[in-house]
Amino acid sequence: MASYLVTGGAGFIGSNIVEKLVIDGHKVRVVDNLATGKIENINDFINDIEFIKGDLADFIVAKRAVEKMEYIIHQAAIPSVPFSIENPIKANESMVTATVNLFKAAVESGCTKRIVQAVSAAAYGNNPKLPKQEDMLPEPVSPYAAAKLMQEYYARAFYSSYDLEIVSLRYFNVFGPKQDPKSPYSGVVSIFLSKMLRGERPTIFGDGSTSRDFVFVEDIVTANLQALLCKWTGNSEVINIGRGESISLNELVMLFNDILEVNIEPLYESERIGDIKHSIADISKAERILGFKPSESLKYGLRKLILWY
């Protein structure tokens, strides 16, 4: 039994990680300020974990959170491009300040064996090259992307300055249970599914040829655990986590029609400002370093998501 701190453990991805760790019988502590996370996400196992309500932008909270924890899974953030554009100072605090506090607290605690942190495919920005490879020059185009990239740079800096082992996972488009479809920042999979389950027509921004690499949250959970336990390469690695395949928004609607056995036509509206056209991960580095393999098919994850609704 090892001890794990999950930051942002009441959020969509964090709570899925906490659930897996509890099932596996580990000692789990969650720190979350409940800004975007929700206690309902962890209610089912709240008695099996230690919960700290607090903000990592406060160093005292960070110190308390990391105390005696061996592994740290850092998911806390305000994970939204539009929010970061409206409020770059708050976004920076929630990602950069919080992360530096967490890393510094981990150095001081002396107990931390390794940290894995969530970063984003947003780092690739509008670079049109496909698939996205980790060694491409980053092109952050939003404060959110800049902050997530800064987290990667701090990971490298803390390894070279203090020998703190930190792996950064660049998530592509994550979907799954506990992603709130009502949130204005929710992903397209949740938005489309919740509408189509009610028999409503989903709205596609653009002509539907826009494509994304949709990755199931179970795969994200697996990748995080692999990153904590894999052999240390001697570098603070940045690793893409996606399926390594993409589908268009038109195909996504067709897939839901097929699974739900309905025939709903999407509505079309003009493209969203700032959207990139295509995104697909090269996951060969994840395979090589983590032994990562995505779940059998996109349909597998979509079916599990439908069961959750």
234 φ/ψ sector (left φ>0, alpha ψ -120 to 50, else beta): left
Nearer to ligand UD1, 238 or 249 (CB): 249
46 binds ligand UD1 (CB under 6 A): no
Stretch that binds ligand UD1, among 104-112, 116-124, 239-247, 290-298 (CB under 6 A): 116-124
In angstroms, what is the minimal distance from the CB of 89 to ligand UD1?
19
Closest by alpha carbon to 103, among 72, 145, 143?
A: 72
**Site size for ligand UD1, by CB under 6 A?**
21
- Contact assessment for residue 119 and residue 152, using Cβ atoms and an 8 Å cutoff: yes
249 binds ligand UD1 (CB under 6 A): yes
268 binds ligand UD1 (CB under 6 A): no
Nearer to ligand UD1, 177 or 187 (CB): 187
Long-range contacts, 103-110 (Cβ 8 Å, 24+):
103/154, 103/155, 103/158, 103/164, 103/166, 104/59, 104/62, 105/59, 105/62, 105/63, 105/65, 105/66, 106/66, 106/72, 106/164, 107/158, 107/162, 107/164, 108/63, 109/63, 109/66, 109/67, 109/68, 109/69
Residue among 124, 144, 159, 171 flagged as catalytic: 144
Q: How far apart are CA 71 and CA 227, in angstroms?
A: 11
Residue with tokens 């659930």: 19
| Residue 162 annotated to the active site | no
Exposure b/e, 295-305, CB count within 10 A at least 16 = b: eeebeebbeeb
Closest by alpha carbon to 288, among 246, 216, 215, 226?
A: 226
173 binds ligand UD1 (CB under 6 A): yes
In angstroms, what is the minimal distance from the CB of 132 to ligand UD1?
9
Rule CB under 6 A: choose which of 61, 76, 77, 122 binds ligand UD1. 122
Stretch that binds ligand UD1, among 22-30, 61-69, 117-125, 228-236 (CB under 6 A): 117-125
204 binds ligand UD1 (CB under 6 A): yes
191 binds ligand UD1 (CB under 6 A): yes
Stretch that binds ligand UD1, among 3-11, 52-60, 223-231, 271-279 (CB under 6 A): 271-279
Rule CB under 6 A: choose which of 205, 248, 278, 293 binds ligand UD1. 205
8 binds ligand UD1 (CB under 6 A): no
Q: How far apart are CA 202 and CA 191, in angstroms?
A: 8
Stretch that binds ligand UD1, among 36-44, 106-114, 199-207, 288-296 (CB under 6 A): 199-207
In angstroms, what is the minimal distance from the CB of 72 to ligand UD1?
21
Residue 180 phi, psi (nearest 5): -80, 110
56 binds ligand UD1 (CB under 6 A): no
- Contact assessment for residue 71 and residue 113, using Cβ atoms and an 8 Å cutoff: yes
Closest by alpha carbon to 250, among 195, 298, 212, 283?
A: 212
Rule CB under 6 A: choose which of 35, 52, 81, 247 binds ligand UD1. 81
Q: Which residues bind ligand UD1 (CB under 6 A)?
A: 79, 81, 120-122, 173-174, 185-188, 191, 203-205, 210, 212, 249, 272, 275, 279
Residues belonging to the active site: 144
